[in-house]
A and B are shown apart, each in its own frame.
Chain A
Amino acid sequence: MRFVDEYRREADAQRLVQAIERLVTRPWTIMEVCGGQTHNLIKFGIDRLLPPSVTLVHGPGCPVCVTSLELIDKAIFIAQQPGVIFTSFGDMLRVPGSSSDLLSARARGADVRMVYSPLDALALAQKYPDREVVFFAVGFETTAPGNAMAVWQARQLGLRNFSILCAHVLVPPAMRAILASSDNRVQSFLAAGHVCTVMGTREYEPIAEQYRVPIVATGFEPLDLLQGLYMALRALEEGRWDVEIQYTRSVTRDGNVAAQQLMHQVFEVCDRQWRGIGLIPASGYRLRSSWAEFDAEQRFDLSTVSAQESSICIAGQILQGLKKPPQCPAFGTQCTPEHPLGAPMVSSEGACAAYYQYSQHA
């Protein structure tokens, strides 16, 4: 199949693995930022093909995992209000809130629907004018343009029954938070290819410079990942810290300017609580006040919602690359995909679920 098979050829993968083996002279620790990258590294067994001196740590780039408990609880609360159709991407439905998840809310009678795009939620709002349709706007810069477009179109269409629960998070502030931490081990990043497709790579240049870490905007197929790792390791070995693009078929230095303009029109940067990590200043998007009529947090009274996190789960340390899933005392015992304590065990992009599903456990 075109555009897939050519990025999964075994001979090419072996060549890259050998090139990496020849290149590496000492131990290095690299973080892949995006959960989609984590998933494929484990699914294709790439982590086991690399020389032992290369350590991969899994980054915070799984939107399902980092969405704060409080927002999940708010989502469940809104979904349970009479007359509401609550819409979400599929993998948010099983994320545990303080005491429930959206699928369980549905089993108890809430009208929770899985959609593939925020525009599907918009179509529901048109179809059911007497219902309140709310879309759970989660994700990084990748999903932000689509969500901005949904709100923009809702205004064009004059819809009065559509809103979004905005949970957007941004990658660069999270990378800064990791690098600024006193326990940081990360020496280089594979930046998330699709985030960079939207945003370009300029905003990573000051990070590379300030912390002297090479950053490679990398794709998701096995050969993309191996090539991104090769480029990062070469920069480390040569003592360089620049921003490079591996995923050239999608990423440019400037990114998608039209998408950025729309996002800027609809969203503004805000402080954001990250699940397991805490508050990161200027690390999220919220709707601008001129778009407040589409903000679910304004339309619903959420003052009674309060969140309580599991005390055993070490999701925060995992999402910052300080620990690996099997180092968690609950991994595979108290915490499984059937009974997740933390969000990384839920999504297929979550590091714990990827380890549980594709590597040896128990």
Chain B
Amino acid sequence: MISLQCPIPISEYPVVTLAHGGGGRLSQMLIERMFVAAFANPALATLHDGAILELNGARLAFSTDSFTVSPLFFPGGDIGSLAVHGTVNDLAMCGARPLALSAGFILEEGLPMEDLWRIVLSMQRAAAEVGVPIVTGDTKVVERGKGDGLFINTSGLGIIPPGVHIAPQRATPGDVILINGAIAEHGIAVMSRREGLAFETELVSDSAPLAGLVARLLEVGGDHVHVLRDPTRGGVASVLNEIAAQAHVGMHLDEERIPVADAVRGACEILGLDPLYVANEGKCIAIVAPEAADHVLEAMRAHPQGAQATRIGEVVGEHPGKVFMRSRIGGICVVDMLSGEQLPRIC
């Protein structure tokens, strides 16, 4: 039974703020109290990167994502490649092999045709690289000033191989937490371009398709691979908090083991940002049973998308729903979820 009253208290948030899209606690509140409550159904309730639908014994993964990035072109990618990678990766995180994508364009009057063509070609290349066709689409144009150049929505359909069961609820005490490389590169690359921050080394987004890596990791790990998640908005910290809450488990991280490139660390130190909360677009967290962890890690490292793969922590039975981290100097702190986006510090 749905109440007619708005579930987000009016006194707190009479209008939508940017923090509602930041991937932190306010985004989560909006999704759970408004969308999940209103659309309630079992496939949605798993709150995974995509829904899993059964059809004549086959399991299909279905996912959608909208892309609003400024600037449209950034070091390491553009909104087009990002839109393909984003949905391909959401399908991969369900353990699925992508079958087909759709593309919806909302174009702003005045967008240079040349820019649109570059973006379309970039989508074509990204889709060809994964071997997934873009099979349907839609175009709308809005008045000048009513869109940020263009917005893209992509949806995707994938098929989950037999014997693969990926779900956040499967994280189990004793499981090992792996990541396929250095974090925070996409968020810092986009921010440095958007804000005109110049650093000595150019920071490049990690935007990349993860379907190949995931296929390889599932071949090696099979049912021992319990959870896959791409830490996009909100970063590694937000994703691990979500999983910890959904599986009622705790997590221990080791700061020393979390890979961050020096240039990214430097930028984060200057801006007062914590790389654990910064977005990634080519990273995959894999939570794997301990007996398979070494093999899976080896397979990740042998793949071009996982050369820097490493073990960053483990799932524990204590303090369910909380993520703890051992800091570089040996102290212990809680890694909580942020409410909205991180804001650079004053001094």
- B29 and A338 form a contact (CB under 8 A): yes
A349 in contact with B345 given A1-B266, A107-B15, A337-B338 (CB within 8 Å): yes
- B343 and A114 form a contact (CB under 8 A): yes
Give the contacts of A73-103 with B (CB-CB under 8 A): 89-94, 103
Whether a CB of chain B sits under 8 angstroms from the CB of A325 is no
- B340 and A9 form a contact (CB under 8 A): no
- A337 and B345 form a contact (CB under 8 A): no
Q: Which chain A positions have C-beta within 8 A of B18? A: 103, 106-107
A14 in contact with B16 given A337-B338, A338-B339, A348-B272 (CB within 8 Å): no
Count A interface residues, CB 8 Å.
52
- A43 and B343 form a contact (CB under 8 A): no
Whether a CB of chain B sits under 8 angstroms from the CB of A159 is no
Whether a CB of chain B sits under 8 angstroms from the CB of A121 is no
| Partner pick for A90 among B326, B334, B338, B343, CB 8 A cutoff | B343
Q: How far is the CA of A63 from the CA of B272 in the complex (A)?
A: 15
Whether a CB of chain A sits under 8 angstroms from the CB of B19 is yes
- B340 and A64 form a contact (CB under 8 A): no
CB distance from B14 to the nearest CB of A (A): 8
| Partner pick for A104 among B17, B26, B344, CB 8 A cutoff | B17
CB distance from B7 to the nearest CB of A (A): 15
Interface residues on B, range: 35 or more
| Partner pick for A222 among B15, B328, B335, CB 8 A cutoff | B328
Q: Which chain B positions have C-beta within 8 A of A143? A: 346-347
Residue on B nearest A63 in the bound complex, by CB: B346
Type the 1/0 row for B17-49, where 1 means its CB is closer than 8 Å to any CB of A. Answer: 111000001100100000000000000000000
- B25 and A116 form a contact (CB under 8 A): no
Q: Which chain B positions have C-beta within 8 A of A239? A: none
Q: Which chain A positions have C-beta within 8 A of B331? A: 44-49, 222
Q: Which chain B positions have C-beta within 8 A of A49? A: 329-331
Whether a CB of chain A sits under 8 angstroms from the CB of B336 is yes
A13 in contact with B330 given A194-B347, A338-B25, A347-B345 (CB within 8 Å): yes
| Partner pick for B25 among A44, A337, A347, CB 8 A cutoff | A337
A14 in contact with B330 given A1-B265, A116-B195, A360-B322 (CB within 8 Å): yes
Whether a CB of chain B sits under 8 angstroms from the CB of A359 is yes
- A48 and B332 form a contact (CB under 8 A): yes
Q: Which chain B positions have C-beta within 8 A of A63? A: 346-347
Residue on A nearest B273 in the bound complex, by CB: A348
Residue on B nearest A359 in the bound complex, by CB: B334
Residue on B nearest A223 in the bound complex, by CB: B329
Q: Which chain A positions have C-beta within 8 A of B16? A: 107
Whether a CB of chain A sits under 8 angstroms from the CB of B136 is no
Q: Which chain A positions have C-beta within 8 A of B25? A: 337-338
Type the 1/0 row for A43-64, where 1 means its CB is closer than 8 Å to any CB of B. Answer: 1111111000000000000011
Whether a CB of chain B sits under 8 angstroms from the CB of A108 is yes
Residue on A nearest B11 in the bound complex, by CB: A339
A10 in contact with B343 given A4-B265, A107-B18, A339-B12 (CB within 8 Å): no
Q: Which chain B positions have C-beta within 8 A of A202? A: none
Whether a CB of chain B sits under 8 angstroms from the CB of A68 is no
A10 in contact with B344 given A1-B262, A107-B18, A337-B338 (CB within 8 Å): no
- A116 and B333 form a contact (CB under 8 A): no
- B346 and A138 form a contact (CB under 8 A): yes
Whether a CB of chain A sits under 8 angstroms from the CB of B115 is no
Give the contacts of B187-204 with A (CB-CB under 8 A): 195, 197
Q: Which chain B positions have C-beta within 8 A of A108? A: 15
Q: Which chain B positions have C-beta within 8 A of A347? A: 345-346
Q: Would you list 15 pairs from A and B whose C-beta atoms are within 8 A, ordered by A residue?
A: A1-B265, A9-B328, A44-B331, A45-B326, A49-B330, A49-B331, A63-B347, A106-B17, A107-B16, A107-B17, A114-B344, A142-B347, A339-B12, A358-B335, A359-B333
Chain A residues engaging chain B, CB cutoff 8 angstroms? 1, 4, 8-10, 13-14, 36, 42-49, 63-64, 89-94, 103-104, 106-108, 114, 116, 138-140, 142-143, 194, 222-223, 336-339, 347-349, 356-361
Given contacts A10-B329, A47-B331, A89-B344, 6 further A-B contacts (CB under 8 A): A1-B262, A4-B266, A44-B327, A49-B329, A339-B12, A361-B334
Closest 7 A/B residue pairs (Cβ)? A45-B331, A90-B343, A13-B329, A337-B339, A90-B344, A358-B333, A44-B327
